[in-house]
Chains A and B, each alone.
Chain A
Amino acid sequence: MASEMRVKCQLHDIQVHKAAVHHHHDSARECLDDPEGRGKFEVNGNYAFNPELGESPSETVAGAVECSCDHGSEKMEELVTALANGLPEKMIGAEKAHVTFSLKEDEEEVVSDDGTAADCESSAHRLPAIAEAVKSRGRGGGHCPRSREAMKAMVHNQVIYEQPTSPHAHLLERSMSYSTVEAQISKDLLKQMQTSLFLNQTDKDTSQGQSHDPPHPSQNAETEANDTDVVAGSVTDSDDKSQTETEDRSQTEGEKTESESEQNDASKSSEEDAPADPSQRASVPKRALCLPRPFRFKDRKSKDSEKVTDKPPLGPSAGRGGKGKVPPPRQSWLLRLFESKLFDMSIAISYLFNSKEPGVQTYLGNRMFSFSEMETDFYLPQLLNMYIHMHDVAEAVHPYLLHRCRNSVEFSVNAAWILDAFSSDCLKPNWKNSQGVKLKNLILNEELRPMPAPKVMMSLHSPTGPSPLLSSSPPSAKKTHHRSRSEATAYTDSMLLETMPEAPRPRKKKSELSGSLGRLDRLFMKHSESTSALTNSSCTAAGDLASGRAFDSGCKCMQSSEALINSLTGRQTPCQCNAPRLQPEVEFVQALMNIGSKLQHLPTKELRTSRLIAELAMLNLNLPARVWLPVAEDYTHHVVRIPHTQAVVLNSKEKAPYMMYVEILQCENPLTSTLPSKMLDNTLRFTRSEEDLTHFNHLNHRANGSPRPEFSVYGNGHEFDDADCWSQEDDEIMSLALRCRSSDTISQISTESSTSADSKDPVYIAAGDIRRRLSENISAPKKKFERDPEDPSAAALKEPWGDKVERIRETSPYGHLPNWALLSVIVKCGDDLRQELMVYQVLKQLQTIWAIEHVPLWIRPYKIVVTTNDSGMIEPVLNAVSLHQIKKQSKLSLMDYFVHEFGPSNSEEFLTAQKNFVQSCAGYCLVCYLMQVKDRHNGNILLDAEGHIIHIDFGFILSTSPGKNLGFENSPFKLTSEFVEVMGGQGSDMFEYFKILMLQGFVASRKHSDKIMPLVEIMQTGSQLPCFSKGVSTVRGLKDRFHMNLTEEQLQLLVDNLVESSLHSLTTKLYDGFQYFTNGIL
């Protein structure tokens, strides 16, 4: 009986799920167009049921669970009606209710609800006990089972409530339109059903006793949707106050959900022997998050009686209404937290990580859409690492990721790189952890494109979503459902095809491609089929640097006349052809990495440098291109030129990291803005004569393909004169060059005197003066380091950034353009930058925390782009050289160098620099302690032009240290007497200030440690990184180092101790000595 019911039930569900699939598309791609695609926030259904279901492990219950899941995915309008009316508990418990669903008779359903009320009660009573039992496991997350409805309501309200602040205005619109529509529909419905429902409801409420919120006659409330805003607001406030409580509670509930999901698993596995169609199996949906109303209607219509069609999907709106009317006294604390003002990406990410409850995960996955892109981008590594290693989270965030990938090429590229880097640890990809690789391939195969016109999508998709049955079931149970579903899917498929004759069969395949948004399995399958298709078909020149079009996607859209007009009017030209969107950027970065790996094989720095320059010159032939520099703050620019002779190889023995400068031109969007035309290196400097003008315009017009009649006048008929072509206005150039080299004005005299020599009187000069000028010039105290072939980077890094920009601007053919800018990047090949990336995030977080807490600690997080697990790019710290280079070049102690650079120790410059030094030192000491940063030799510590120190190279952190963890550096952080000398010595005011800063920073960091811990903790998942070599104890150790249990006084003592022991650490000196002897680092 049970299984039969289930089957029916699923059959019903299938359709619903399919609709859900649509919905995914819609929400992801057409969010603006589809005012009804609001389903992403309607997660509530999911867990409205789950907690209750968890109670009885019996076979029947399992069936119910399944059904409830389906409900969760909100396919069932009927159910929804009931739910909406504030009877969730009943529904949940009621396996039989599902049976009724399968009958698709709403009235019946209601009745049956009645009938199952008893079951519900009993199960509901059992819940708390289970929850208690599981609680000890300490799982956070989850939600309050009692207030599913409230949750539902909250979600809705929250959306509405948050809208004003949310950047996605359209979401708000959608939700609003929904609520009104629904309200209308539901009102009618309610009238029909009110009586019976009311009865049931009250029955249930009483029966469930105090453990459940009394469901309210919320049907009526729908009309009062407006009121809800207010209520929600007040609820949120109360949430804020009782946050801790919320967490406690939510933990309990999390337990419940967990236990219940386990049962789900069990029940599902029991079904495994049901016949399954393999193809269907592959396309098993993990979850249907939400269902846009229109689809529900349509599906119903096509499948069922007209009567049903009338039924509105009341779920969410009803819930909202219910809440509006009677704010449940004991709401889900978790939900309150989630909708509170405090809720941010940091909390979301940690709940995503900690919660095993699909509902919560789904909710969070959907909530992602409401966060600003910047906010979520910061956590992208965590998000993707979870995606790779945690199947359930992957499902939850998959729609969001796809959505972002579709909309942003930059995001796609970043995501692909991170996925690549972090999935490399999965040595044996299996079904459990292959989703990361699959998503990466999906992205790189350019299957995620912005949606074509919505109309087309609709018709295309309809046949594609045959089986969203499994929606909220945990992935481990995936297989179990195939069988029962297969029939159903087949059925639905045919149904749909009938109803949608305009969707031709042959197109189905294609539509699946694009239409399989929410469907992991589907995607995977697809993607394995089409892995190489796109790469092969892409234009042949891509990646071939000799072709000059290595970074050309082959898109011809920009050459159209329309694009021409757009470029003239400054509008964007979106690419219409199916040219690869990511390829140029991927190829560009690949080219940079290839250079890095070539350099590794060269023995000396000299060879590497000249080789680097040669390779970059080659690369230059392919620029400008629609590529951007990934380490830049944003990607709204075109890379136009690489001043290749400025590139330098950095100090490293085996690896050959190099730093290069990149000239860019800002633009609105690198993919749609007009690409700047090629300018040759020495073109502009000589643009003087008419002939030159011809030349220049000729160039423009060739490159743009835009004939500019006003210029082409010069193009022909111009008498060519040999002498003209060779006349260079050198003096102009010279004077220009002189101006930019005005540093030594002394010898200007000689130039002047030579010109004045035209007069008849002979001019005499003293040989002594010449000699003196020469020696002054040479020995003049220079802010520059001498060029050293063994350390080419020292001089390049020492040059003040502003000077360098100006210098390069002068020589660049693009330098005169207003949107020109110079960026720099360190390209590392052969190094794993994933740890660096994590540290960057931690530093960034600390920086934010300290800013919030107004503690003046200074750190300089530098951006990291991980492209694979052994290559990446680093944002160089400008105007900074390593202490090693300082010592080697200046041959001064640090204190003397400070005096040399900033002036005497009582000058204002010095004092400012000293203050900067102390603040940065405190910041980094804290970082070094917390993160256990090792390998702190002077080559890894930079000093910038303002006196800040900056630590770089976080290759050894947390559990790992150089020398096979032998404990070379066992001091808490590196604080040498030299540092203290700069601070003014022990006991000086600045030294005391340093310790105070450390304490303040410590207290602030401790206060917000919950924002730092998840960053590290999540990255540990499935990680083979050396910094996690000690497994769980790594994270525990980090947590311990926050010393949560210490009072501030104790903490102060701790800081003092740390400083003391660091200062007197023998190992620091030993390690410096070791570095000197092995690597020559001073």
Chain B
Amino acid sequence: MSTSDPQPGKEKPHLLRKASNQKMALKEKIVQIYEAFFQGEDPSYGNPNFWDELFLLKVNTTFLETEIEKLNGEGLVNMKDNFNLLFFRATECLKQENPIRVVNAMQTLCALVRGIFRKSHGSCGFDVINLLVGFDSAETVMQTLVECLNAFLTGDHPSGLKLLTLKFLLILITATDNVSQNTLLEYVMMNSVFEAVVQILGHPTQRQLLGHDAALVLTLLVQYRKYESANPYVVKLSILDDELALTGYAQVISVLLADFNREYEKQSTEVHTGGWFSALASMVGNMFVPEERQIELVRAKDSLLLALYEAIHLNRNFITALTHSHTPSTPATPPSSPSPPSSPGADPTSNPKEPPPLTLETASASHPTSLLVTFLQYSSIVIQDTKDSIRYNNAKLCFIILTCISEDQYANSLMHDANMTFRVPLHRMPMRHRKAKVEISPPLRPLVCSLLDLMVEFVMSHMMKTFPMELYLRGLGIIHRVLCYQKKLRVRIQYPWKELWTALINLLKFLLSHETQLAKKHNVFHLCSKIVNVFNLFITYGDTFLPNPNSYDELYYEIIRMHQTFGNLYSMALRYTTTESEHKDSAARLTNHLVNVRAIINHFTPKVDSWAAAHQQSSLTEEQVLEVVRGNYDTLTLKLQDSLDQFERYTEKPKEVPFFTNLVRSIICDVRKSVSNLSTQHQELLQELSTIS
């Protein structure tokens, strides 16, 4: 029995060497055939039914792959004909009705692709095609193959087969580290599986089981030479207008992100339920354990984030799906048996995504949510810790996605829609002066409020020595974009702007106090200019988007109150303009940008002082200052600055290419790992499935 099990490949020859007949007899028939195969024979010779019979046998993928692994370069080339034959026969077999043969043939194909690509790692892709399929017949065979795959995905087949098909596609796609070098994909470009994948995403029940893999297939196919040539998947995804499919796509991502959020919540509550002291005590000890766990989780979501990014970046219609509110599938409280987030396909029952007949209890308990809500919550978790480069990249991708969203007018209009309110539970990092907290039941607000909250939170929580400059720039860019939208469309949202002002001024303070270290590494003046320009937007265009006149007064009050910070900023900038340095121009620009702020300070400070003197008060209350401010607007003249409401549109192509190339590479490796495990594990299950059907 034990011998019939696929043993680790290395032990096989050992068994053989013993040369015991008994052992030989116990050897799987398929292994015998494989062996014959690898000796260069054609076992089918003279046996017309051979292939039909072969694919009825349970595939031993491990054996196949290890045998291929053992071959040297020359052996590999010698085996070409047999590989081609096997590949061809397996493909032919896919056309058959019998599900067992189909599954076995598919497994054979998986093993072949995996084995041969692993072997030819780094070598040119064309060789692989020749080894696998053979140049002569490659086109037709691959066309047949893709047609069969499409048929499996779209037809009325057991979902196990569909899953296996997707896994096979993933194996195909992740065959090389660099997806663009995988020339085999050229055939998948020519024969599109896009429609089939979209159909799965649009199907309300199929996407529960297959959605993750389908989205992954789509995302990775989009990556194939997307900067070099016209990738049909990029085109098709960008013009996809099937609302159901888009909504399904969004829900697949949403559910998986929600799983992550739930998992995180569960962990953080576990830590905190231990009590104050135990929490404190275990803090040092646990420093790394939960950290690693979380990193693992984050990594698992990289591919999802990329899927989300591609959808938002490429497809305009996806914005609707992004904010398409739906009632959450699973209750907000963590389920008793949370599903491992990495294998969403494994538990179709535990996360029914859209149960149409919601029971009234859950219906009343759960609040409508949307992908954007989930994503904002996810981002609030991810940005908490950006020290690790993986998490940093993850946070960066989040910010890029948010940039894309905040740049889209339609997305903005949805986010600002006062009728479309959501509860977004944002997570806040525990800091010295505050506990980590999540609002259990945050107020219902338009989404843009949560977005701004998230940015404020980021600004407040990342003033650290390893200053995440890029993230700060992106964060300010997001704020800027939102403000520009509000200014242009005169949208007045009820938002406590004061929090934003305070956070930005605090950031300025931090930059000033760490000027010496930071200025060496980063162009702090650029960042400061961005901050000051946000203030300038408020000062000169506040009438178009501030909720009420009082908030305008408060803005002045804040500036006057923090006049010292602005003063220091100005003098610092001035200092850099006088000395010769790389930041000289930026510093000069900053001084220009500060003109209105300084005008306000210079105008009101004496007024406030004289008022205090007149009323013989050393310190004034806020109300008193506001009174002074209100009384002295008319004598203040401000300068209108150019292009305050201009921003550089996000483009992926020149700047972000390395980031995404690396990201895709790491995702490919992850996915490859996951499919190599899964296929063997699932084999038996799948065979059962197929025999039942």
Collect the chain A residues with CB atoms within 8 Å of residue B313's CB: 726
Collect the chain A residues with CB atoms within 8 Å of residue B410's CB: 681-682, 685
How distant is B597 from chain A, measured CB to nearest CB, in Å? Answer: 12
Segment touching B, from A504-512, A733-741, A985-993:
A733-741
Contact, CB under 8 Å: A548 / B241: no
Contact, CB under 8 Å: A702 / B241: yes
Collect the chain B residues with CB atoms within 8 Å of residue A1032's CB: none
Q: Given A617-B324, A774-B552, A778-B549, are A765 and B637 neighbors across the interface (CB < 8 Å)?
A: yes
Q: Given A610-B367, A680-B320, A719-B230, are A758 and B552 neighbors across the interface (CB < 8 Å)?
A: no
Q: Which of A528-562 contact B (CB under 8 A)?
A: 544-548
Indicate which residue in B230, B242, B444, B640 contacts A610 across the interface (CB closer than 8 Å): B444
Contact, CB under 8 Å: B316 / A682: yes
Bound CA span A698–B642, Å: 41
Answer yes or no: A455 CB below 8 A from chain B CBs.
no
Residue of A nearest to B541 (CB): A750
Contact, CB under 8 Å: A678 / B235: no
Collect the chain B residues with CB atoms within 8 Å of residue A170's CB: none
Q: Which of B296-348 contact A (CB under 8 A)?
A: 313-314, 316-317, 319-320, 324-327
Contact, CB under 8 Å: A766 / B419: no
Indicate which residue in A617, A678, A691, A765 contacts B325 across the interface (CB closer than 8 Å): A617
Answer yes or no: B280 CB below 8 A from chain A CBs.
no
Collect the chain B residues with CB atoms within 8 Å of residue A753's CB: 640
Collect the chain B residues with CB atoms within 8 Å of residue A773's CB: 543
Indicate which residue in B354, B368, B409 contacts A733 across the interface (CB closer than 8 Å): B409
Q: Given A610-B367, A698-B241, are A770 and B204 neighbors across the interface (CB < 8 Å)?
A: no
Q: Given A685-B410, A695-B241, are A546 and B640 neighbors across the interface (CB < 8 Å)?
A: no
| CB 8 Å contact bits of A681-705 with B (1 = contact, 0 = none) | 1110110000100110011001000
Residue of B nearest to A700 (CB): B241
Collect the chain A residues with CB atoms within 8 Å of residue B418's CB: 787
Q: Which of B217-244 contact A (CB under 8 A)?
A: 226, 230-231, 234-235, 238-239, 241-244
Residue of A nearest to B411 (CB): A682
Contact, CB under 8 Å: A607 / B444: yes
Bound CA span A205–B152, Å: 88
Q: Which of B366-395 contact A (CB under 8 A)?
A: 367-368
Contact, CB under 8 Å: A611 / B409: no
Collect the chain A residues with CB atoms within 8 Å of residue B644's CB: 754
Collect the chain A residues with CB atoms within 8 Å of residue B651's CB: 722-723, 726
How distant is B376 from chain A, measured CB to nearest CB, in Å? Answer: 16
Q: Which of B483-530 contact A (CB under 8 A)?
A: 488-490
Collect the chain B residues with CB atoms within 8 Å of residue A136's CB: none
Contact, CB under 8 Å: A546 / B543: no
Count of chain A to chain B residue pairs whose CB atoms are closer than 8 Å in the complex: 199
| CB 8 Å contact bits of A772-811 with B (1 = contact, 0 = none) | 1111011000000001010010000000000000000001
Q: Given A698-B239, A726-B651, A762-B639, are A610 and B420 neighbors across the interface (CB < 8 Å)?
A: yes
Q: Given A645-B420, A733-B409, A767-B637, are A546 and B239 neighbors across the interface (CB < 8 Å)?
A: no
Answer yes or no: A32 CB below 8 A from chain B CBs.
no
Segment touching B, from A379-387, A574-582, A598-606, A952-960:
A598-606
Collect the chain A residues with CB atoms within 8 Å of residue B319's CB: 682
How distant is A680 from chain B, measured CB to nearest CB, in Å? Answer: 5
Q: Given A720-B235, A754-B645, A765-B640, are A614 and B368 neighbors across the interface (CB < 8 Å)?
A: yes
Collect the chain B residues with CB atoms within 8 Å of residue A754's CB: 640, 642-645
Chain A: interface residue total (CB-CB under 8 A): 78
Indicate which residue in B326, B488, B549 contacts A614 across the interface (CB closer than 8 Å): B326
Bound CA span A102–B543, Å: 97
Answer yes or no: A453 CB below 8 A from chain B CBs.
no
Contact, CB under 8 Å: B243 / A548: yes
Bound CA span A728–B320, Å: 16
Q: Which of A817-848 contact B (CB under 8 A)?
A: none
Residue of B235, B644, B645 most packed against chain A (CB within 10 A): B235
Bound CA span A892–B633, Å: 33
Answer yes or no: A768 CB below 8 A from chain B CBs.
yes
How distant is A808 from chain B, measured CB to nearest CB, in Å? Answer: 12
Contact, CB under 8 Å: B543 / A722: no
Bound CA span A777–B408, Å: 27
Contact, CB under 8 Å: A606 / B421: yes
Collect the chain A residues with CB atoms within 8 Å of residue B645's CB: 754
Answer yes or no: A1046 CB below 8 A from chain B CBs.
no
Bound CA span A830–B11, Å: 72
Collect the chain A residues with CB atoms within 8 Å of residue B202's CB: 548
How distant is B417 from chain A, measured CB to nearest CB, in Å? Answer: 5
How distant is B539 from chain A, measured CB to nearest CB, in Å? Answer: 8
Segment touching A, from B356-364, B564-572, B616-624:
B356-364
Answer yes or no: A208 CB below 8 A from chain B CBs.
no
Contact, CB under 8 Å: B241 / A768: no
How distant is A745 from chain B, measured CB to nearest CB, in Å? Answer: 11
Residue of B nearest to A685 (CB): B410
Bound CA span A763–B230, Å: 47
Contact, CB under 8 Å: A771 / B314: no
Q: Given A606-B444, A770-B542, are A646 and B640 neighbors across the interface (CB < 8 Å)?
A: no
Contact, CB under 8 Å: A720 / B230: yes
How distant is A784 from chain B, measured CB to nearest CB, in Å? Answer: 12
Q: Which of A608-656 contact B (CB under 8 A)?
A: 609-611, 613-615, 617-618, 621, 645-648
Contact, CB under 8 Å: A544 / B204: yes
Q: Which of A703-722 contact B (CB under 8 A)?
A: 718-720, 722
Bound CA span A24–B325, Å: 52
Contact, CB under 8 Å: B639 / A680: no
Answer yes or no: B247 CB below 8 A from chain A CBs.
yes
Bound CA span A309–B202, Å: 67
| CB 8 Å contact bits of B633-664 with A (1 = contact, 0 = none) | 11111111111110001111100000000000
Residue of A nearest to B239 (CB): A695
Answer yes or no: A764 CB below 8 A from chain B CBs.
yes
Residue of A nearest to B315 (CB): A725
How distant is B627 from chain A, measured CB to nearest CB, in Å? Answer: 14
Q: Given A683-B317, A774-B542, are A546 and B367 neighbors across the interface (CB < 8 Å)?
A: no
Answer yes or no: A242 CB below 8 A from chain B CBs.
no
Indicate which residue in A601, A611, A683, A772 contacts B368 across the interface (CB closer than 8 Å): A611
Collect the chain B residues with CB atoms within 8 Å of residue A698's CB: 239, 241
Q: Which of B551-592 contact A (CB under 8 A)?
A: 552-553
Answer yes or no: A744 CB below 8 A from chain B CBs.
yes
Answer yes or no: B294 CB below 8 A from chain A CBs.
no
Contact, CB under 8 Å: A741 / B489: yes
Bound CA span A811–B641, Å: 32
Contact, CB under 8 Å: A763 / B639: yes
Q: Given A601-B364, A750-B543, A771-B549, are A764 and B634 neighbors across the interface (CB < 8 Å)?
A: no
Bound CA span A817–B202, Å: 28
Contact, CB under 8 Å: A750 / B490: no
Collect the chain B residues with CB atoms within 8 Å of residue A685's CB: 410
Indicate which residue in B326, B490, B549 contacts A747 across the interface (CB closer than 8 Å): B490
Collect the chain A residues with CB atoms within 8 Å of residue B546's CB: 774
How distant is B528 from chain A, measured CB to nearest CB, in Å? Answer: 21
Collect the chain A residues with CB atoms within 8 Å of residue B320's CB: 680-682
How distant is B38 from chain A, measured CB to nearest CB, in Å? Answer: 44
Bound CA span A728–B652, Å: 15
Bound CA span A733–B489, Å: 10
Pick the 8 closest A-B CB pairs, nearest first. A614-B368, A614-B325, A768-B634, A768-B633, A546-B204, A774-B543, A775-B549, A682-B410
Measured CB to CB, the residues of A under 8 A from B are 544-548, 598, 601-603, 606-607, 609-611, 613-615, 617-618, 621, 645-648, 678, 680-683, 685-686, 691, 694-695, 698-699, 702, 718-720, 722-723, 725-728, 730, 733-734, 737-738, 741, 744, 747, 750, 753-754, 757-758, 762-768, 770-775, 777-778, 787, 789, 792, 811
Given contacts A723-B651, A767-B539, 10 further A-B contacts (CB under 8 A): A544-B356, A548-B243, A601-B364, A614-B368, A682-B410, A720-B231, A726-B650, A754-B643, A768-B633, A778-B547
7 contacts between A and B (CB under 8 A): A610-B421, A613-B368, A682-B410, A725-B238, A766-B633, A768-B634, A774-B548
